[in-house]
Amino acid sequence: MKILSKFFLLCAILTLVSCNKGGDDKIMVGYFGSMTGAEATFGVSTRDGVLLAIEEWNKAGGVLGKQIEIKAYDNQGKPEEARLSVEKLINADNVIAVLGEVASTRSLAAAPVAQQNKVPMISPSSTNPLVTQKGDYIFRVCFIDPFQGEVMAKFAFNSLKKKKAAILRDSKSDYSMGLATYFEKTFTALGGEIVGDEKYVSGDVDFKAQLTNLKSKGPEFIFVPGYYTEVGLIARQAKEQGISVPLLGGDGWDSPELVSIGGKSMEGNFFSNHYTTEDPRPEVQNFIKNYEARFGSRPNALAASGYDAARVLFEAIKRANSVEGPKLRDAIAATKEFQGVTGIITLNEQRDATKSAVVLEVKDGQFKYLETVNP
Ligand code: PHE
């Protein structure tokens, strides 16, 4: 008897939960990001891009006749928290899809949860190739690091005419380790030489030992594929040690904090990114205008990627005419020539986007557009 009543209770709960999936009148989308901690601007900028997309769609009637709602969790930059966030989003909040993460290490930690539950996950800007290899429910709307590494290697060798590189990478970051390796591969294939290769760990604040070693090798530039907090400090300490060669890096530099932390030491350094505010395409300029009106600041590539990831999802819901995991998965996978702010998004067999990258220079505290590199 007892067992039977427990069984009925369980049935009642399950019915309630399944009814709640997506809500009756709402579509619930999950978001997870680092909104506090050393990479706080990544999570906040991306979330704001996602919010803008949701508000625009809702104003235009939502999707499938329902308003879109977001449930967001902060992971403080911790991979384990990222995984737990996605567990909560799926099991407690019944989201129909998850948007996130920015940092590849955190996307890698969370992706298996989405995959096991057959809930699509779209990373706006994780570039390590392994992220989408976690399974067929895992997507991204950005390019991957074998390409990004090649972009900066070619820029250094062909545009800057530099032959001797040093590398300073973050051994705790899948993004940093991968990007350094891909950069090295192309740079040496072009005929360049890696004269020094040093490591640090995310959270470090003193880079003097590594910089002393690298300086003694006489590089013509230092490739630092890290995130903005450490990069800003590295730039300062490099200057303090009399290192005058430029620093080069990747998308992980993109933050308003880069220049606040690095100050004048960031001037004349270069990095690759997903978008530039100088892109004259109307969809880009409209996005900038609307974002500024809503949040009072200029959107960076994180915000633009969040905006694109959210809109790719909403378009897919519309095409699928469903929020069921497998149907939605297939519709996302079929994304073709989506007019994104970060470029035109077509998802390939690996569920990655093949898109161009831009190279930017830090000049007068701004990120100045230099060139576009096509895949
Ligand atoms: N591409 C980085 C990673 O995979 C994250 C990032 C994207 C950071 C865009 C800044 C801007 O870890």
Q: Identify the pLDDT of residue 323.
A: 98
Residue 27 burial (10 A CB sphere; 0-12, 13-18, 19+): buried
The response to whether residue 301 sits with its C-beta less than 6 Å from ligand 1 reads yes
**Cα–Cα distance list, 311 to 58, 78, 304 (Å):** 12, 27, 11
Give the side-chain half-sphere CA count within 13 A for 369: 14
d(CA 284, CA 46): 16
Q: Report the atom number in ligand 1 closest to the C-alpha of 300.
A: 11
The response to whether residue 175 sits with its C-beta less than 6 Å from ligand 1 reads yes
Q: Please calculate the CA angle 209-212-218 and round it to the nearest 5 degrees.
A: 150
The response to whether residue 85 sits with its C-beta less than 6 Å from ligand 1 reads no
- Give the tokens for residue 312: 């790719």
Question: Measuring from atom 7 of ligand 1, which residue has the nearest CA?
Answer: 125
- Give the tokens for residue 19: 């009814």
CATH of the domain spanning 2-143+280-356, picked from 3.30.70.260, 3.30.1330.10, 3.40.50.2300, 1.10.390.10: 3.40.50.2300
Q: CATH 3.40.50.2300: which residues of the chain? A: 2-143+280-356, 145-273
The response to whether residue 157 sits with its C-beta less than 6 Å from ligand 1 reads no
pLDDT tens for the chain, 375 residues long, are 455 555 555 444 444 444 444 456 999 999 999 999 999 999 999 999 999 999 999 999 999 999 999 999 999 999 999 999 999 999 999 999 999 999 999 999 999 999 999 999 999 999 999 999 999 999 999 999 999 999 999 999 999 999 999 999 999 999 999 999 999 999 999 999 999 999 999 999 999 999 999 999 999 999 999 999 999 999 999 999 999 999 999 999 999 999 999 999 999 999 999 999 999 999 999 999 999 999 999 999 999 999 999 999 999 999 999 999 999 999 999 999 999 999 999 999 999 999 999 999 999 999 999 999 999
Q: Identify the pLDDT of residue 18.
A: 47
The response to whether residue 128 sits with its C-beta less than 6 Å from ligand 1 reads yes
Q: Report the atom number in ligand 1 closest to the C-alpha of 102.
A: 5
Architecture of domain 145-273: 3-Layer(aba) Sandwich (3.40)
Q: Report the atom number in ligand 1 closest to the C-alpha of 128.
A: 4
The response to whether residue 228 sits with its C-beta less than 6 Å from ligand 1 reads no
**Cα–Cα distance list, 220 to 120, 148, 178 (Å):** 44, 20, 22
Q: Report the atom number in ligand 1 closest to the C-alpha of 125.
A: 7
Mutate to test the pocket of ligand 1, among 46, 47, 102, 170 (most ligand atoms within 8 A of CB): 102
Q: Give, rounded to a whole angstrom, the gap between the first and last alpha carbons of the chain.
A: 66
Q: Report the atom number in ligand 1 closest to the C-alpha of 255.
A: 10
d(CA 154, CA 150): 6
Q: Identify the pLDDT of residue 6.
A: 55
d(CA 22, CA 320): 15
Ligand 1 geometric centre to CA of 346 (Å): 19
The response to whether residue 108 sits with its C-beta less than 6 Å from ligand 1 reads no
Question: Measuring from atom 8 of ligand 1, which residue has the nearest CA?
Answer: 252
Nearest CA among 187, 133, 99, 43 for reference residue 349: 133
The response to whether residue 302 sits with its C-beta less than 6 Å from ligand 1 reads yes
Q: What is the pLDDT of residues 101-140, one digit of tens each?
A: 999 999 999 999 999 999 999 999 999 999 999 999 999 9
